[in-house]
């Protein structure tokens, strides 16, 4: 089942009644709305004047709904996740923590190869040269010792948005960087939610290991999914609409990401479902029953 994504950009009072999320607005500006909690996958809270009841938070967490909060720049900055995401969580985490360094290097190699291959395919779909990316995807070594991931990313963004003056991939760079930032933040939450559902620790990565980062594994596993965000952002930029400032319409386009159709293992699937298949395959690799992570392909 495809879960819904709700975005709240205006002041609102959120509560629960009869297993429904109840939305009320100040001064009765709009009629009360109700949405079944079991249908919700992601709830994005942007306005600082949103009030939630504890009863609602409890039911959202029990439903494994990702509750995402935003900062003053309207970018996602927090993510509420359940303490128990899987019935065998302790055992699964033990396998994750005991994973050998050679295994982690092999998994990172697969991840980088899948990311570069998707970047190359995206460039080809935009009628841009991707020969170097195709070549780099085939020569990634265990652990990506030669850092092809960074080399490919620099080439990719240089050619993807070459029609935009002064563009370079930078957190605070010119548009559409802010759209990429927003999309990647949503993608990170999608990945973290799937990892918890697979009984894994999002903070213990296979490559990323920054002690200040609580989502190292999410940052690892989301890499081959990033080009799907780029795909959405490219279409938005190519439409000719105004990219600054970030508005509700632009955000609503990016919030389509969890339900975006992707191809994984030869079959079409919503991205949020594909992400769960990916994270389950990561556990299978930790368990030793598989040697390959399932990643989606851009077609």
pLDDT tens, position by position, 220-262:
999 999 999 999 999 999 998 888 888 889 999 999 999 999 9
Same-domain status, 150 and 214: yes
**What are the C-alpha distances in Å from 212 to residues 72, 105, 204, 218?**
21, 22, 11, 14
Same-domain status, 55 and 187: no
Per-residue confidence at 271, pLDDT binned at 50, 70, 90? very high
**What are the C-alpha distances in Å from 75 to residues 72, 99, 185?**
7, 34, 8
Q: Is it the case that residue 206 has pLDDT exceeding 90? A: yes
The residues with which 174 forms a beta bridge, in sequence order, are none
Please tell me the distance from the alpha carbon of residue 285 to that of residue 63, in angstroms, as a whole number. 27
Give the per-residue pLDDT at 94: 97
Q: Is it the case that residue 2 has pLDDT exceeding 80? A: no
Structure tokens at 126: 């935009």
**What is the helix (H) or strand (E) element at residue 41, kind and residue range?**
strand 40-45
Same-domain status, 73 and 213: no
Query: What does the pLDDT average to over 65-93?
Result: 87
Give the per-residue pLDDT at 163: 86
Report helix, strand or coil for 158.
Answer: helix
Same-domain status, 60 and 96: no
Instruction: Report whether 208 belongs to an annotated binding site.
Output: yes
Q: Select from 63, 80, 97 the last residue of a domain.
A: 80
Instruction: Report whether 54 belongs to an annotated binding site.
Output: no
Query: What does the pLDDT average to over 89-113?
Result: 97
- Diameter of the chain by CA atoms? 61
Q: In what order do the strands lie in the sheet with 76-80?
A: 4-8, 40-45, 66-70, 76-80
Q: Is it the case that residue 217 has pLDDT exceeding 80? A: yes
Q: Is it the case that residue 266 has pLDDT exceeding 80? A: yes
Nearest CA to 271 among 280, 260, 279? 260
Same-domain status, 162 and 291: yes
Cβ contact 185:7 at 8 Å: no
Same-domain status, 200 and 168: yes
Task: For residue 74, give its domain range.
Answer: 4-80
Same-domain status, 136 and 246: yes
Instruction: Report whether 223 belongs to an annotated binding site.
Output: yes
pLDDT tens, position by position, 149-205:
999 999 999 999 998 888 899 888 899 999 999 999 999 999 999 999 999 999 999
- The total number of structural domains in the chain stands at 2
Same-domain status, 93 and 115: yes
Q: Select from 19, 54, 80 the last residue of a domain.
A: 80
Q: Is it the case that residue 28 has pLDDT exceeding 80? A: no
Q: Which has more confidence, 289 or 71?
A: 289
Structure tokens at 150: 């960074």
Q: Is it the case that residue 276 has pLDDT exceeding 70? A: yes
Per-residue confidence at 1, pLDDT binned at 50, 70, 90? low
Structure tokens at 298: 């851009």
Report helix, strand or coil for 299.
Answer: coil
Same-domain status, 151 and 287: yes
Q: Is it the case that residue 29 has pLDDT exceeding 80? A: no
Measured at the alpha carbon of residue 71, what is the angle toward residues 253 and 185, in degrees to the nearest 5?
45
Q: Which has more confidence, 28 or 78?
A: 78
Please tell me the distance from the alpha carbon of residue 11 to that of residue 27, in angstroms, as a whole number. 11
Q: What is the CATH number of the domain that holds 30?
A: 3.100.10.20
């Amino acid at each position: 089942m495809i879960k819904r994504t709700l975005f709240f950009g205006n002041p609102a009072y959120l509560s629960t009644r009869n297993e429904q999320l109840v939305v009320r607005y100040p001064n009765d500006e709009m009629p009360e709305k109700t949405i079944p909690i079991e249908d919700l996958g992601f709830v994005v809270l942007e306005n600082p004047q949103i009030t939630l009841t504890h009863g609602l938070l409890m039911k959202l967490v029990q439903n494994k709904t990702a509750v995402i909060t935003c900062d003053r720049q309207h970018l996602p900055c927090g993510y509420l996740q359940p303490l128990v995401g899987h019935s065998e969580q302790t055992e699964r985490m033990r396998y994750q923590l005991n994973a050998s360094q050679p295994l982690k290097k092999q998994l990172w190699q697969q991840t980088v190869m899948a990311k570069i291959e998707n970047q190359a395919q995206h460039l080809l779909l935009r009628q841009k040269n991707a020969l170097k990316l195709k070549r780099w995807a085939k020569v990634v070594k265990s652990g990506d010792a030669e850092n092809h991931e960074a080399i490919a990313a620099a080439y990719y963004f240089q050619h993807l948005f070459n029609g935009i003056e002064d563009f370079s991939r930078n957190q605070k760079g010119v548009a559409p960087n802010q759209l990429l930032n927003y999309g990647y933040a949503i993608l990170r939450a999608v990945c973290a939610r799937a990892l918890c559902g697979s009984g894994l620790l999002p903070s213990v990565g296979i490559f990323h290991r920054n002690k200040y980062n609580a989502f190292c594994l999410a940052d690892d596993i989301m890499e081959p999914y990033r080009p799907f965000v780029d795909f959405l952002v490219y279409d938005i930029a190519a439409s000719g609409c105004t990219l600054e400032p970030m508005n509700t319409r632009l955000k609503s386009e990016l919030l389509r990401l969890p339900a975006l159709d992707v191809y994984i293992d030869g079959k079409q699937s919503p991205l949020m479902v594909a992400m769960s298949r990916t994270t389950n395959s990561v556990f299978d690799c930790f368990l030793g029953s598989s040697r390959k992570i399932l990643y989606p392909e851009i077609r």
